[in-house]
Amino acid sequence: MKAWENVIDSPIKGRTQKPRENGITMVIDKGLGLNEIKDLISLAGDYIDIIKLTFGTSAFYEEKLLKEKNKLITQAEIDVMPGGTFLEVAIWKNVYEKFLERAKELGFTAIEVSDGTIEIDLEERKKIIKKAVNMGFKVISEVGKKDPNEKISIPLMHKEILSDLECGAFKVIVEAREAGRGVGIYDSEGKIKEEEIDKIISGVKDVNCLIWEAPHKNQQQYLILRFGLNVNLGNIPPDEVLALEALRQGLRGDTLKRAYLEYKK
């Protein structure tokens, strides 16, 4: 039972429950220890769907510790995956199959497929996704480049999104890096580029197929107000999960105001 149950209801109704198809919250983990993971799960586990051990950070864990951490996460009905950059290294080094096998052994349940740094052509990308899906992983793919000077065209982005979903990807992330500035739908100050969002969604049948990387509050607020409380959001810092959930459900001033004004109509 929640602390305020039967006293105060959330002003915005319709929040999806786990296991979710939409309303995904993906947390970025740069190096949480076992006690920190236990605390995070006990406090906010109901509102986390995926934890990403970002970049190549999982390479530095002792095997026993990583297995124990992944077990804690998956027992809480949360998917866990290594970062897409780590997969790109595996592709570059031609050890992708071994990478998947070891990921399975270590207790990962999801795989992020990206080409944010290296070049992977569309046909190879299809094979990469299908192989991970066939091994039982939930695949979260990503479109876009980390370097703003290497921005891909919108038509290519649309093509990759459609192809990834057809190959079995669960969702497709729109690249914005962990900084949320100067890449993708954000300018150098982290402000929303609405015209960029308009272009991206113009080529997808259902915006719910996308996960928007949104590490900052102004980004989360905009996306929730535009697409609703069950928009899929990624790269959420661990200590921001409940703050994000408050935004989703109208328990923070920015979204409460809209709910209140609509109630008064």
| Interval 207-236 mean pLDDT | 97
If 0-12 CB within 10 Å is exposed, 13-18 middle and 19+ buried, where does residue 261 land?
exposed
| Interval 42-54 mean pLDDT | 98
Cβ 212 vs Cβ 176: under 8 Å: yes
For 78-132, write each residue's pLDDT tens digit: 999 999 999 999 999 999 999 999 999 999 999 999 998 999 999 999 999 999 9
pLDDT of residue 27: 98
pLDDT of residue 137: 98
- The Cα–Cα gap between 211 and 222 comes to 14
| Interval 1-10 mean pLDDT | 94
pLDDT of residue 150: 85
How far, rounded to the nearest angstrom, does the alpha carbon of residue 117 sit from its chain's CA centroid?
18
| Interval 24-50 mean pLDDT | 98
How far, rounded to the nearest angstrom, does the alpha carbon of residue 138 sit from its chain's CA centroid?
12
- Where does the pLDDT of residue 151 fall: very low under 50, low under 70, confident under 90, or very high at 90 and above? confident
| Interval 220-228 mean pLDDT | 97
Higher pLDDT, 145 or 120: 120
Task: Tell me how far CA of residue 105 lies from CA of 21, 61, 71, 100, in angstroms.
Answer: 26, 14, 11, 9
pLDDT of residue 121: 93
Q: Quick check: 265 pLDDT over 80?
A: no
